Every structure is written in C-alpha cells, then in structure tokens.
Structure 1
Amino acid sequence: MNVASLKAQTIQKEKQPLIAVLKVLSETYDISFSYVDDIIKNKEAILPEETLTLNEALEFLRLETQLDFELLDNRFVVIKFKKKKKSDFRVQNLEEIIVTNYLTTGITKLNDGSITIKPKTFGILPGLIEADVLQTIQAIPGVLSTDETVSNINVRGGTHDQNLLLWDGIKMYQSGHFFGLISAFNPYTTKRINVYKNGTRAKYGDGVSSIIDMHLPDDIDNEFDAGLGFNLINADGYIKVPLSRNTELQLSTRRSITDLINTSTYDQYFKRVFQDSDFSKGKENRNSISQNETFYFYDIAAKFLYDISKKDKVRFHFLNVNNNLNYDEQSTINDRDEALNSKLSQQNLAFGVTYIRNWNKKLSTTTQAYISNYNLDATNFDVINDQRLIQNNEVYDISAKLDINYRFNNLFKINSGYQFSEVGISNLEDVNNPNFRSFVRNVIRSNAIYGETEFLSNNAKTKLTLGGRLNYIEKFDMLFAEPRLSFSQRFLNHFRFEILGEFKSQTTSQIIDLQNDFLGIEKRRWVLSNNNKEVIRNDNQIIYPIPVSKSKQFSTGIHFNKNKLLISAETYIKKVDGITTRSQGFQNQYQFRNEVGSYEIKGVDVLLNKQFSDVISSWISYSYSKNQYTFDNLNDGNPFPNNADITHAITFAGTYTNNNIKFAAGLNWHSGLPNTEPDVNDDPIDNNIDYQSPNSNRLDEYLRVDCSATYAFNISDSAKATLGASIWNLLNKNNIINTYYTLDENNEINTVENKSLGITPNVSFRVNF
C-alpha cells in the first residue's frame, strides 16, 4: 500500500494527541509502546483506520509525526527520534522489556526481575473472567495461596502479612472482599501492577516477602471512559471524565449483590468462607439457630488529577474498602427464647495527596502524604453461655515521603528520597461474663533515607541497579541498612542472566491469639513489633516478644527467549528472622506457644511459555522448594517444615484468543501441606491432645482444573460489551486445605477438615463506553 492510499484512508479524521492514538493502537493490535516522555510530548496524529495492517499503521504514524516506530518481536514498538547525521543522533536509552506476553496478554516481564500487569490489556487466565488483581498474580511462578484466598498470598514461602500492598503509593492493610475470596481493588481503574519477588527498589520499605504496587492512571489524556458490569457476586461501575483541559476525575464503585439475591456462586463462596466459623457452628448447635444473616461488601475509589502547569501536578487519592456481616443467633433455654445480634465489620479507609514537580528534563521530584486507617470490629453473642465478646483491631498509618529522580545522561540515573511513617495499632477485648477488658495501643515512628544508581547500556543488554535503604526506628533506637541489587545481562542475543538480592525489614505483622477470634472468620489481627527480648508481665497483662522482622534473599536466573518461546529458571534462598509462632497460625501442640524464630526457604522456579502464532499461548511452570522453621525453644531447636511448605507445585495452562473470543483452561497441582497428627497411643484424659512431631505428616495432594471464556461485541459505535463465563474447580475435586483436631465433651478427638471451593460457576456482563 503506498503513501497516498495510506493518507486517503485517514484524511477525514482530525488530529489528536499522540498518546491517545497510541492507547487505541495498543488495544487494537495487542502491542506495547515504549518511549521517553519528551519524544511524544506535544505530538499529534490522525488515528489510522482499523483496516490497516500493523506495519501500515506504523508507517502512517512515521509520516505524521516524523518519529521512528521500530517493531520488535511483533509485540513491542520502540518510539525514537528519526536518525539524523551522526553528530545530531540522540541515542534513546529505554527500559528493555524481556517478554511482552508473559503467560497472557497484559502481563510483562522486565529486566529488573519485576513483573508488570496491565488490566486494561489483560487477556484471560483459567478460572478468571475479570482481571482480579490478586488472583492474577498467583499465576506467577513462586506465588500461590495455600487456602485459595487473596488474603493469604504466599510469595516464596512467606505469610501474607509479609507482602507490602500499595494502592497508588498508599499502604493497605486489607486486601480482600468476601473475607479473602475476591480482591478488594477494582481492576478497571488500575492501570498497572508491579510485582517484585526479589531485587526490590530501594524506595520500598516493609514487605519482607514481596511488593505488590498498584497504580491508577496518572496522566490527563482528555478522554472520556466509562464502564458498567456485573457478575454473580457483585456489580460495579467506573468513570474517567475530563473536567477541563487540565483536570480529570476518576471514580469507581463496586458492591456485592449477595444481600439482594442468592446465586450458586454465592452459595459456594459462603460455604467456603464460613465453614469453620462461629456462624456455622451456631447453625450446627441444636440449641442455637443462626438466622436473618446479611452479608455485603463494597468499595469506592476516587482520584482527582490537576495539572497546575507543564511542570507542576497534584493528585488526590481516596479509597474505602468495606465488608459487613450480621446475623441473629436464637436459642431456647428453659422454655424462653433468646435472640441476639452478632456482627463483623472490616474496613480500610485511605486518603492521600501527591505533588509532582518536573524541574527540568533531568530532574523531577514527587512528594506524597497519606493516611491509611484499618478497622476490624466484631461483636459475638453466645446465648447459650450468656456471654458477649467485643473485639477490635485498628491501624493508623500516617506517612510522608519525598522521591527524587535525576537522569545524568542516557546511561545513568539516580533515585533517592526520604520517608517518615508513624504507625499506631490498637487491640481491644471486652467480655461481660466473666468481666474482662483489655486495651493495648502501641506506636512506632520510623525515618528512612534511600538511594540507588541505575545503569542501562546503550544497547540495553546490560542493566545494573545498586542501592540501599537506611532505617531508623526512634522507639527502639535502632539503625540498620538494607542493600538492594538487581543485575541483568543479555548474551548470545536470546539469553539473559540475572542476579537479584535484598535486605528488608518490617515492624508490622498479623497474629492469631485464638482460632475463634473475630467470629473465626478474620482471625488475624495486626500488631506492632515491641523489640522485647523476654516476656513482660505488667498490670495483669502478659506482653510477649515481637521482634522487628528482617529478611535476606538472593536469587539467580537464566532466561531464553526466541521465536515466542520463553524458558526461564530461577533459583533462590531466603531467610526471615524475627517471626513469632502466633504469626504462623499453628493449630497443633504449638498453638498456644509464644516463641520467636525464623524460617529459611530454598527453591527453584521453572517456566516454559510458548506462543503459537498470535492466537494460542501455553505454559507449564514448576516450583520446588524446601521451607523450614527454626525455633530455639520448639522441637529441641531442630528445624521442621513450615506451615506453608509446598515442596512441589505445577501449573499447566493454555489460552486461545481470536478476534473477540478468548478461552483459557488450566490445571493447578501441588503437594499437600504439612500436618501434625495426634499420637496414635494418646488417651487424652488430661483434656490435652498429644501430637506427633510437628508437621511430620502431609495432607493429600491438591488438584484443581479451571476454565473461562469471554466474547466481546459492539453494541454501538461508542459502546462495547463483553460476556464472560468461568468454572472454578471444574472436576469438583474435594481438596482438603487444612486439618486440625479438637476434643469434644466426651474427651474424644474430633478431626476438623477445611475444604476448598467446590465446583463454582460464574458469569459476567460488561459494557464499556
């Protein structure tokens, strides 16, 4: 096709900002663009016709913009200035993307070891019809959930509280709706998610296991965007509207429909979440009946963007995540009816403001301040024992940070900054029979400075990021350094070698005092480190040691990528010191122990990902790991398996994408979790169960097959609809995800088994404008 015909097909359209054109082309041709912001600044172009091939569209843009559009691997387009004479040539130093369709479209692996997920261009994964943020990351090798929830994500053997979750730079303390089965973050207003398993940037504190950094759109493109949708659990809507040339409002909301209508999906979720809670136990008790239950959740997110000038920008952030459960417990005692209301509410409220200043082409600063407030509140009535229990767990996190970026030249850039945080956590327990009240509140203030240097060679084959973070905790007078390392070297064109390392720490953790805390639904409560060396007894209270958790991790990897075939292998070792038994959820002989120890995990993650043409992608991943605890005062100081120790894990999946149809199917298998069984010779006459060696047994293997499909079609010129359907656990496999033992009133040992979700269908319908 010649130049004249190219122009003829687009001559009737008006020019628009180039960034808006690139956004449309990314979705139309399923490609990614990489560029330096200054290159496309103030550039305009006509949107090419959809009938053009990708190469024809890029050629048209070359003529329109006088820029060079270089297509790499049919998926990745680098935008550069056109080459001039040698003396005028400006080398553009760009971040190298290793794999653009990592597992599926919208998931990208970068050469710093991180993985980026873009829900807007997300393809499809087995069992998912929407880009649930925290479900999607579990497709990454080394990331899984031992109990199928997004509120218990285990990254390389760590517990969920060891993951740092950031929403537009704000730390979040609640991650799930439906008490862990659904991500609390709306994917339709999330632009990208950066996931770090190791080699974390120096600007990140906390998160000794991983960083999950979610970003909303941050540029004003003066385009209207909106959508509405529902599935068998919730309905949602979002809107992105330009209020003026330099202001924009982003708003989204989601609410469950579970208190309005019962569906098969809701029934399965309800059975899964409440199977081992006080709510279900009340129903099982013949003298007590739970009724009139109401459960719902919702979230509201808002972001206001204001470009004060070409150099100054300000952003305001708001998020409210909420879960609520109410139920009446009715009982008949001595021919008298008793009915009392038990309830549980969980909320994370966040406010933030960000100011961005671009001083010149080389220097920019970002200043942010935020407040994140988490509140877990429960009232539990036991009508049979005439007892009322009130429990509350509240977190206040106030933080301010300054981030500085300076680019020396095309080879080197520096990132440095300062962060102050004040975290206050309170815990309340109030019992009326017998009378007991305990209220504990602790506060930790910390200061941190950080800096790192990044080098990226002109040919993008070598990348080195070297930095560190210096933390000072005022309360404990603790000063400690955390070095960070990320090195990547491409060789023989298609191979890449990688080294990652980091030291990290955190002062917050989640513990379980009793398994029936907070109605047995949300057992974990947030606590702060106290840095005590021994048990302290004060005012009839016992304060157990909770150290500052510290981690060390090192990993190496080699990756081969050619002809849409990726072979990746990573080996790692990670050690985390300063964990407590109460943070690990023991339900054996160590359930009521309060000891301090560590865990060490060694493992290998292997991935084989092959794309056949442009419509079929398949992958198989395998993870091997050995994860062990060491507590000086437990098991004679000898190591024993971690509660999250999964020795072998295999995922096999495939996706098919052709025009508007997407289909995915996959299998997840892993070896059984550790388990501690009672001693076969035990006769529990002392009202205690004698156990075998800790975690010396294993549950049965876990197996789950999922599938999903979506179909997109146009309702009108400005409206596009998507219909989706999925089945979770297609084979209805009866997976046991936890087993523990109790004594009944006859001093007999009962076996309690927590089961995974059974076969769970879901359908969805969305309209985007």
Structure 2
Amino acid sequence: MMAQDKSPLSIILKGIENSYNIQFNYAPDNIDQVFIRAPDSNLSLQEVLLYLENNTDLKFNSSENGIIIITTKPLGKFCGYIKSKEDGLPIEQATIQTKTSGTISDKHGYFEIDIKSINDRIVIRSLGFKTLNLSANRAQKATCMDIVLEPNIQSLSEVYLTNYITSGITKTNLGTYEIDFSKFDILPGLIDTDVFLSLQAFPGVLSVDETATNLNIRGGSHDQNLILWDGIKMYQSGHFFGLISLYNPQITKDVLLIKNGTNASYTDGISGTISMNTETKLNPKTTASIGFNLVDLNGFLDLKISDKSSVEIAARKSLYDYLKTPTFNRYFERITQNPDYENNTSNVLNTNEDFDFYDFSLRWLYEISPKDKLRLNFINASNKLVFDENTVIDNLERSKESKLTQNSIAGSLFYERIWNEKINTSVEFYETDYKLEATNANLLEDQRFLQENQISESSLKLINKYKINNRFNISLGYQFVETEITNLDDVDNPIYRLLVSEVLRTNGLFSEMAYISSNKKTYLNFGLRYNYIHKFKKSLMEPRLNFSHRFWNYFSVEILGEFKSQNTSQIINFQNDFLGVEKRRWQLSNNSSIPVIQSKQGSFGINYSKNSFLISSEFYYKYISGITTQSQGFTDQFQFEKSSGTNSVYGMDLLLKKSFPNYNIWLSYSYMDNKYTFKSISQNPFPSNFDITHAASFGSSYTKNSFKFSLGLNWHTGKPITEPVKGNEIVNNEINFQSTNSSRLDSYFRADVSALYTVDLNSKIKGEFGGSIWNVFGTENIINKFYTLKDDTVIETNELSLNFTPNLSARFIF
C-alpha cells in the first residue's frame, strides 16, 4: 500500500506543467506505476527537475523549444566487438538494438549501447549474417566482449507482413508465403499442423473436392503443383487417398507457398510451388514426443548425436488395425462412397475391408566444419485398401480380392560449402520413387483388371551464390533431371496387356540477380531459367520477376511474373477406375498428343498495414497451354476425349485482417474467371472444371496463455458440371448432355472449430490436448455430380463432402 501523501507521477507532471508553463514529453509506459511526493512549490524549475530525477529512475532532459523529454535511466553501458565467425574480421555497420535504444558498429566492429533493464534483449543484425539475440543479464557479465556472427548467405528477402493470417504466417518481399509451425497458433478445424489443409487458409488456394491434398492454386489442377520435401520432388501427397497430408507435421518445421514469381532454381509446378522444410539448425539437446488422435498414432525424436550432429525421426501409423474410431469411419465412408466400391451390383457384397497407412521420415544434419554442412533426408510412405468381393453365380459362392496400394520412397543428400562471407556453394542429389498398384475384381464377368503407375526420378542440382555487396546478390546454377514413368494395364479376360515406359531427361541452367535498396524499401529479383529437353530437342526460356516497394510508411506494392513449364501430368482414364477411390495416374509428355505444359503468369498486388490492421490484395492473369482433356477430370461425354487445349485464368485474391491482444480475425475473398479452350469440344471458351467464381472464408483465433481456440466459416460457389438435357436425356443409346459445364453445383458451406490446451505435467513432460469439429452443422455439400447410363436409365451419382467429423488429440512432449 502506497503512502497517503504520494501521488501518481502523471498527476504531478500536469501540475508542474501548469505552474512553470512547460511541457513534458514521455512514453506512458515509462511513468506508469510511479508514485512520489509532490515537490515543494517554492523550488525553481531546475530544482524541481533535480528532485524528480533523485526520486525516480527517470532522466529529465531539456530541449531548445522548452519541452522536457523524459527517458528511463540506463543501468549501464554494454560494449563489444562484432566479428565474423568465418574469418574473424570486424563487421562494420552492424545494427545493435534494445527495446529503447540502438546504435551501429564502427570499422573496428566496436559499439556501445545503454542497457536500461535487466530484461532487455540485445539484438544484433548485419546483412549476410544470422541475427543474434543476447540477454542484458548475460551482457553485463562481460566488458567489451567479442561477439561472433555466423554468415547467412541467402537471397536478399525480408519479411514484409508478419502474422499474415495468424501467428507464424508471414509474407516476404518475394511475394511468397511462409508458415513457421514452431510459431504457429491454430486454424479452424485443425488440431495438427496439416501442411495442405493449412495452405487452404490462403486466398486463391482451395480444393474443389474438399480433400487435403488436391490443391487448386488459382484454378489449376493438383498435378500442376510442384511439391518439395527438403528439396525432393514428391509425386504422392496424401494419406487416406487425399484426406490428410502425407507429410508428418512433427518433422515439418515450415512450408513455403509460391503462387507466382517463382525462384529460377525451381522447375515444374506451373500453378504453384509448395516447399516443405525440416529444421536446419542443430538441436543443442535431445527432445521427443509421442501422440495420437482419432486417426493415427505418431512419434517424433530429435536426437543430439554430438555438438556437430543431430538426427530427426518421425513416424505415423493408422489406427485401423487397433481401433475403428468415429473419425476414422467418417474418413473411410468419404473415400469409399463411389458406387464402384459400394455397389458394383446388387448381387455383389464387399467384405473383409482392410485399410492402412503409415509414413516414416528421417533427417540427419552434420556440421563437418563451420564452413561445411551436410544433410541427409529419407521418407517412406504407404496407403493400402484391400477388400473381398463376394457373390453367388450358378448357386456357387465366388470371392475375389480387390486392392489398391500407393507407396513412395525417396532420399536426398545436400552439401553446402561457405567459402567466405561472399561466396557459398550447394550441391543436392535426390532420388524419388512412387508406385500405385490397383487390382479390381469383376466377379460377374469373371475378370481381373490390374493397373500400375510407377515413377522413378533422379535429380542433381548445383547452385553457387555470390554476394557482391550489401545490396546485390547473384546466383548461378545447373540442374539435371531424369524421369521415368511406367504405366501398365493388364486384363485377364479377355487377355489384354499394355505396358508403356518412357524416359525424359532435362538439363537446366539458371541465374538470378537480387537487389535491395539501402533503405530496404525497394526489392528486385530477376531470374532466367533455360531448360533443354534432349528427347524432343526442345529449348525453353523461362524468365522470373519479383519487384516490391514500400511507400507512405504503411503501403507496399508488388509486381510478380513468371514463365514455367513441366513435363508430367496426371490422367483420368474413366470415372470408375481404381475402385472409384484413386483416379489419377502420372504420365510423361510426348511432345505431340501430350504436349509439354507451359504457363505465363503476371500479377500486381498492393498491401496496407497499420495498427494491427492488414489489407492485402493481388490481381493476376495466368495462361496455360498444353493441358489435355484427360488431365482435367471431365465426367461428361468428353471423359474419353484425348485432345490438348489451353486454360486462361484471371482473378483477384483479397485478405482483410485485424489483430487484437490475444485475438485475430480475418476475412479472405477470391474471384476467378477460369476458362478452357478445347477446339475438339467447343469453338468457344467454356468454364474450367476448377472454376470456383467466388470463394470466401472467415476465421478467428484466440490465444490466452496455454489455451488456443479457433472458429471459421468457408463458402464458395459450386463447381461447373454438365447435365443431361431435361426431357431428352437419351439419344442413340447415349446420354444427351447439355453444353459442357453449363450448370453448377449448389454453393458449398462449412463451419469448423478447434481448440488446444498445453499444460506442464511435470518438470520434464509437457502435455498438449486438442479437439476439433469439421463441418459443425453437418452441412450436406455435393462436391461432384456425374451421370451414367444403365439399362436405358440415366443414373445420377452425387459425391458428398465430409459430414460432421469430430477429432481429439493428445501429445506428450519430453
């Protein structure tokens, strides 16, 4: 309890201002909770100021215009010499900052800075080096200590917008979006940091079939996305045949989303790039966790081998072998709702269903020396669905097994050499293999249909980066890629076998120049990639551009552009292949009926950020040539059509976000006009199968201490479909369809909630418990509709989204 004759300093200062006709200038935080006795009224102004200084931890400095500036008294000075770890040379012009003051180092790397609180954090930055954080408590223990900064030779990118949607999500001046899962809060409907579901929170990214992994970035098909895991190109992206991401969230530290302006070192991915990365720093101690939810069991280990080496291991296994939870049942119903699985005929019964998935990931880091670093990656993942088809033929019971398996196995070796503060070199090699095998039994026709799709790809990439000065970087690189894809169709009655195996080899040269202005307001990155496809003797030049500029303090503008190409795509042979579960097989371009796919994209964006309020908008146009009807998922009269065409998309992505203490709200909206041109189908452009004209989502997140809660709403217009002509549905024993994609499904709506709570169970174990509900209101959304002809009757088939789906999770962190 304060003494009766003591008053808040703020009130005393107002009295002094009135008595002496002066003005105080101060930060309110500096005088909050300061109580003293008022000075005697007969004192002079100088005596009053001296009295105030002697009775507080504040300094009162008079300025020329009669204003008294109030600041906190420093606890002392901290000095040091900043040097490079690589060669021990002093670092000039490094910035040293605390919460209240800042300075720069001189040509000897020397600096001095005032420390005003033992809670101060001293942040030391220098372009080309990793940021260093020191505690004031540590700093006071040494006098003029040597401070060593590690080189960080990267592109000149900087964070433009922090907390873009929620904590841990940022936007850089490269126009890219980054999610740092170590700082990530929570998103609606998610209790695990599922990579692909998290990406769907961004405007311009959604899934027309509501799966986690079938991402449509600005209206593109999923096979138009480049998916990288620590630099390895992956051809399988999901478990549960797309309902959850294949990539274990415990080992995935961050993910980078690029919608345009891709770095020239990347090839493929004409619609977007998704680059996932594991931790790049050595863990100073061993950590581990084990957890489960209503879908899988999972574990993670980050093992410190030595001061120079650590290994991360993560694994997941489905619960189906041990427990069939309501969540698992919902997922299983979702993937097997197609009539090819559920009801081949009324006389066929499916029994003995067995479903399983697992994944195993490993990353090993070894710091050979301060200049040499080595990284090894390995991933293995699998999905399996097996069931028996049973029927009675000629009074005899017949049974055959149908199955579908997906397997991915990949590994890479990455080596980086830091020659000096200006030059570093990296070499990366990866091998990735994918296999899909489906055996579909048809008891009534006594037929077994086997399909296989195999991919084997090898890549070698070399990059050399050179830092000209603090404003310019250049990089040069080379990449070789060899891709082999094999497709097999094998029918035993009548005997038919078609095996096609093709190989493409691509050589790529690329270079980039990055510039950042001295005031760090203007950024320019220009890159050029040259690809040569040896088999076709085809040369492709692909320029890439990133430009951004800050103005008027709160505004920034960005211009992005790129030319890209890719040699692989996915085909859908017919609607009910692969048991009606997985319909996509990879194929290579042949430069004729299956062209090399090429894209051109340009975009213009403007952002406004002030007082925790953000408006981010981007307008874009994308043109793609070389797409095929087989890769776009037609379910009408053109599902067997084999022709190539073009795709043009223009649209807008908009995000509004406001942050409050402990609370975020955001609203995103996307507009898109997405059209195909296939001359074999129509002389006029018509809506794409992925044309979602309007999409909007509202999200909110609340974080307080160890509790996190999130609520979200998702709405979008229905996807285009082709319906039969009403009253004249059948002509010449075929369905008489209307104009292609002339109708639409009803609008889609879904509400999700999620919550997480973290608690220290004891001094060594922390518990994290969560719960979520996907589709809170159980809205029945039709995500696809197609028609088939059976016994002179048109059969309408509706594919439904996930209904009300709860999930619970628990994780124990050691």
User: In 2 relative to 1, CA 589–93 (structure 1 residues): closer, same or farther, beyond 3 Å?
Assistant: closer
User: In 2 relative to 1, CA 509–684 (structure 1 residues): closer, same or farther, beyond 3 Å?
Assistant: same
User: In 2 relative to 1, CA 64–766 (structure 1 residues): closer, same or farther, beyond 3 Å?
Assistant: farther
User: In 2 relative to 1, CA 205–32 (structure 1 residues): closer, same or farther, beyond 3 Å?
Assistant: farther
SS at match of 1:121: coil
Corresponding residue for 2:105? none
Amino acid paired to 2:172: L
Corresponding residue for 2:654? 606
Matched-pair contact (CA < 8 Å) for 2:264–2:529: yes
Deviation at 1:684? Answer: 2.1
Among 536, 551, 563, the alignment partner of 1:476 is 536
Deviation at 1:624? Answer: 0.7
User: In 2 relative to 1, CA 750–93 (structure 1 residues): closer, same or farther, beyond 3 Å?
Assistant: closer
User: In 2 relative to 1, CA 35–378 (structure 1 residues): closer, same or farther, beyond 3 Å?
Assistant: farther
The answer to whether the aligner puts 1:567 opposite 2:612 as a matched pair is: no
Amino acid paired to 1:387: Q
User: In 2 relative to 1, CA 621–683 (structure 1 residues): closer, same or farther, beyond 3 Å?
Assistant: closer
Among 726, 734, 737, the alignment partner of 1:691 is 737
The answer to whether the aligner puts 1:251 opposite 2:321 as a matched pair is: no
Deviations 1:294-324 (A, max 9, x none): 1010000011111111211211110001101
The answer to whether the aligner puts 1:107 opposite 2:169 as a matched pair is: yes
SS at match of 1:120: coil
CA distance in 2, matches of 1:229, 1:638: 54
CA distance in 2, matches of 1:336, 1:408: 81
CA distance in 2, matches of 1:222, 1:147: 43
Amino acid paired to 1:255: K
Deviation at 1:686? Answer: 2.5
The answer to whether the aligner puts 1:158 opposite 2:220 as a matched pair is: yes
Q: Normalising by the residue count of structure 1, what TM-score does the alignment of the two structures yield?
A: 0.87
Among 173, 178, 185, the alignment partner of 2:240 is 178
Stretch deviating more after TM superposition (591-600 or 257-266) = 257-266
Deviations 1:480-529 (A, max 9, x none): 10000000000001100110000000000001011222212111000000
Matched-pair contact (CA < 8 Å) for 1:119–1:188: no
The answer to whether the aligner puts 1:701 opposite 2:763 as a matched pair is: no
Deviations 1:571-620 (A, max 9, x none): 0000110000000000012111111101101101111010012x000000
CA distance in 2, matches of 1:413, 1:521: 48
Corresponding residue for 2:100? none
Among 229, 237, 261, the alignment partner of 1:167 is 229
Deviation at 1:269? Answer: 0.7
CA distance in 2, matches of 1:167, 1:622: 29
Among 755, 759, 764, the alignment partner of 2:804 is 759
Larger Rg: 2
Deviation at 1:644? Answer: 0.5
Corresponding residue for 1:523? 583
CA distance in 2, matches of 1:257, 1:139: 28
Among 636, 641, 645, the alignment partner of 1:593 is 641
SS at match of 2:320: coil
SS at match of 1:679: coil
Amino acid paired to 1:195: L
The answer to whether the aligner puts 1:194 opposite 2:256 as a matched pair is: yes
Matched-pair contact (CA < 8 Å) for 1:175–1:183: yes
Amino acid paired to 1:761: P
SS at match of 2:182: helix
Amino acid paired to 2:799: N
The answer to whether the aligner puts 1:265 opposite 2:327 as a matched pair is: yes
Corresponding residue for 1:738? 784
The answer to whether the aligner puts 1:117 opposite 2:179 as a matched pair is: yes
Corresponding residue for 1:577? 625
Amino acid paired to 2:650: K
Matched-pair contact (CA < 8 Å) for 2:122–2:136: no
CA distance in 1, matches of 2:603, 2:127: 33
SS at match of 1:726: strand
Among 427, 433, 448, the alignment partner of 1:373 is 433
5 Å matches for 1:95-494?
95-276=157-338, 278-282=340-344, 285-494=345-554
User: In 2 relative to 1, CA 44–452 (structure 1 residues): closer, same or farther, beyond 3 Å?
Assistant: closer
Amino acid paired to 1:228: I
Amino acid paired to 1:409: N
Amino acid paired to 1:106: G
Deviation at 1:33? Answer: 8.6
The sequence identity of aligned pairs, in percent, is 46
Among 595, 601, 621, the alignment partner of 2:668 is 621
The answer to whether the aligner puts 1:714 opposite 2:756 as a matched pair is: no
CA distance in 2, matches of 1:480, 1:429: 33
Amino acid paired to 1:668: N
Deviation at 1:681? Answer: 3.6
Deviation at 1:289? Answer: 1.1
Amino acid paired to 2:804: I
CA distance in 1, matches of 2:127, 2:254: 18
SS at match of 2:197: helix
User: In 2 relative to 1, CA 463–63 (structure 1 residues): closer, same or farther, beyond 3 Å?
Assistant: farther
SS at match of 2:734: coil
Deviation at 1:38? Answer: 7.0
CA distance in 2, matches of 1:729, 1:61: 51
Deviation at 1:678? Answer: 0.3
CA distance in 2, matches of 1:266, 1:360: 53
Runs of at least 4 residues off by over 6 Å: 1-7, 31-34, 64-68
User: In 2 relative to 1, CA 140–554 (structure 1 residues): closer, same or farther, beyond 3 Å?
Assistant: same
CA distance in 2, matches of 1:669, 1:351: 39
CA distance in 2, matches of 1:372, 1:277: 34
Deviations 1:331-377 (A, max 9, x none): 11111111111111101110111111111111111101111000001
CA distance in 1, matches of 2:339, 2:710: 34
Among 670, 673, 680, the alignment partner of 2:726 is 680
Among 537, 540, 565, the alignment partner of 1:505 is 565
CA distance in 2, matches of 1:599, 1:64: 65
Matched-pair contact (CA < 8 Å) for 1:623–1:649: yes
SS at match of 1:417: strand
CA distance in 2, matches of 1:124, 1:599: 35
CA distance in 1, matches of 2:578, 2:643: 23
Corresponding residue for 2:770? 724
Query: What RMSD in Å do the two structures reach over aligned CA positions?
Result: 2.4
CA distance in 2, matches of 1:6, 1:299: 54
Deviation at 1:468? Answer: 0.8
Matched-pair contact (CA < 8 Å) for 1:100–1:107: yes
CA distance in 1, matches of 2:672, 2:611: 30
Deviations 1:53-101 (A, max 9, x none): xxxxx64466579999xxxxxxxxxx999xxxxxxxxxx9974312221
Deviation at 1:669? Answer: 0.3
How many residues of Structure 1 are paired with residues of Structure 2 in the alignment? 697
Listed as ranges, the gaps of 5+ residues in structure 1 are 8-28, 46-57, 69-78, 82-91, 533-544
SS at match of 2:387: strand
CA distance in 2, matches of 1:153, 1:377: 23
SS at match of 1:139: coil
SS at match of 2:314: strand
User: In 2 relative to 1, CA 63–375 (structure 1 residues): closer, same or farther, beyond 3 Å?
Assistant: farther
Corresponding residue for 2:91? none
Corresponding residue for 1:71? none
Deviation at 1:277? Answer: 5.3
SS at match of 1:591: coil
User: In 2 relative to 1, CA 706–657 (structure 1 residues): closer, same or farther, beyond 3 Å?
Assistant: same
Stretch deviating more after TM superposition (418-427 or 149-158) = 149-158
Corresponding residue for 1:550? 598
